[in-house]
Structure 1
Amino acid sequence: MKITILSMCLLLIVSCKKEKTETSHSNSSRDSLLLKNDSLKVQNDSVKTIAYIKKEYGNINNLLTSKKLDSTTFSYNCNEREGEVTLYYQNNKLKMVKDFYAEHSHFSSATKYFVKDDQVFFIFNEETVWNFADGGTPEKPETKDDIKEKRIYILDYKVAQCFEKNYSILSKGNNQDPKSIANKETKCDISELMKKYDLILKNKDKKDVNCL
């Protein structure tokens, strides 16, 4: 009788230990899975990679194309430089800023700042210098636009990558498709562009500004 009772006690002890071990292992596995999922969520919701920048850039461009963003505009005129700034919003959150200006010296510049959570993550800058080309008539002269494009990827307020493309467009036509021209990786400094961006934000509620 004593042997039977002792055997039953030992069996209960072993069963409890096994159940405790299995429960502990199950909880540990579930906690690890939750931690892994949380880590992925943080990574996916942050501008931390070039791939994410490209995705967010595409999302904003789609909103612009479908005209789903609100906008405000102001102009500026300073030292023979005439410009216009347009700010685009979604639910009162700034998504993109476009700054275009032209100078009397045959030069113009267009810069687009793409924004997420009040942080610029991508800049597209296009500078154009135009001149008269050979051919044409005094009434209808031929012109040539020399264009420089820059695509700037920004992570944590620093340039992560910068690409440049140069090409020309003749008014008489027969031009190479700019999309077929490869971008070349280069180094670039965004300090002046960001100074301009900060000035834009300071003047965003005005209609006309003397200088930027």
Structure 2
Amino acid sequence: MKIILMSLSFLMIISCKKEATEIIDKKRSEEQLVKKDTPLKSGNDTIKTIDDIKNEYANLNSMLRSKKLDSTRFTYNCDEREGEVTLYFENKKLAVVKDFYAEHSHFSSSTTYFVKNNQVFFIFNDETVWNFDDGGTPEKPETKDDIKEKRIYILNNKAVQCFEKNYTVRSKGNNTDPEKISNKETKCDVTELMKKYQLILKNKNTRGEIQCL
């Protein structure tokens, strides 16, 4: 009976983490890449500078939050990895790709690709390793999430600036506001993320569920 309850708790936690990720995407606006008093500009034909990336990100993120983009989605289930990909389109052109997956090994990942003229120009990725925290019960467990966020600026298919932050969130509360934690500039490596993106593109017309990307 205890095993069954623990399994149900695991499924409930994974579901909650997916919902929490979606809420964070809407609320956080990726650590205020663009200040609130900065006017949104319509997208440029090309992206040549970091400022172009910030402006185009602000434009797309605003449309994403206000649900002005068309979307399609598919799911995948592969080697105990369950995921969902959502593709967003502006005037039938790919604009944003969200990839979320969770593993049974207490790990989940969410990656959002921002796209202009068929080229990725910004990636936001967060990875969560969670464990049961002290306290709680099998019916209502308490958890601790160790989260790593990455922000990657890309020009001409090359990562030019990358930032990272790490923090912990406990389900019992009393957590530090993630927006008050500073980003640290790091070395850029987008190899695996871009491999995943190319696999998503190969399946972008898929509907329903597939096995592996």
TM-score (norm 1): 0.77
Please report how far the alpha carbon of residue 188 of structure 1 lies from its aligned counterpart in structure 2 after TM superposition: 2.5
- 2:166 maps to what in 1? 166
Question: Counterpart of 1:98 in 2: which secondary structure?
Answer: strand
Question: Counterpart of 1:74 in 2: which secondary structure?
Answer: strand
Please report how far the alpha carbon of residue 46 of structure 1 lies from its aligned counterpart in structure 2 after TM superposition: 2.4
Q: 2:193 and 2:132 mapped to 1: Cα distance? A: 29
Q: Is 1:97 aligned to residue 101 of structure 2?
A: no
Any conservation in 2 of the 1:203–1:209 contact (CA below 8 Å)?
no
- 2:212 maps to what in 1? 211
- 1:114 maps to what in 2? 114
Counterpart of 2:212, as a letter, is C
Deviations 1:150-198 (A, max 9, x none): 0000011111000001000001101110000000000131111111111
Q: Is 1:147 aligned to residue 165 of structure 2?
A: no
Runs of 4+ in 1 over 3 A off after TM superposition: none
| Structure 1 stretches lacking a partner, 5+ long | 1-43
Q: CA RMSD in A?
A: 1.1
Q: Is 1:88 aligned to residue 120 of structure 2?
A: no
Task: Identify, as 1 or 2, the structure richer in helix.
Answer: 1
Task: Point out which structure has higher relative CO (alpha carbons under 8 A, 6+ apart).
Answer: 2
Q: 1:178 and 1:131 mapped to 2: Cα distance? A: 19
Q: 1:206 and 1:93 mapped to 2: Cα distance? A: 16
Please report how far the alpha carbon of residue 137 of structure 1 lies from its aligned counterpart in structure 2 after TM superposition: 3.4
Deviations 1:67-104 (A, max 9, x none): 10000001111100010000000110110000000000
| Structure 2 stretches lacking a partner, 5+ long | 1-43
Question: Counterpart of 2:52 in 1: which secondary structure?
Answer: helix
Any conservation in 1 of the 2:73–2:85 contact (CA below 8 Å)?
yes
Identity of aligned residues (%): 74
Max Rg structure: 1
TM-score (norm 2): 0.77
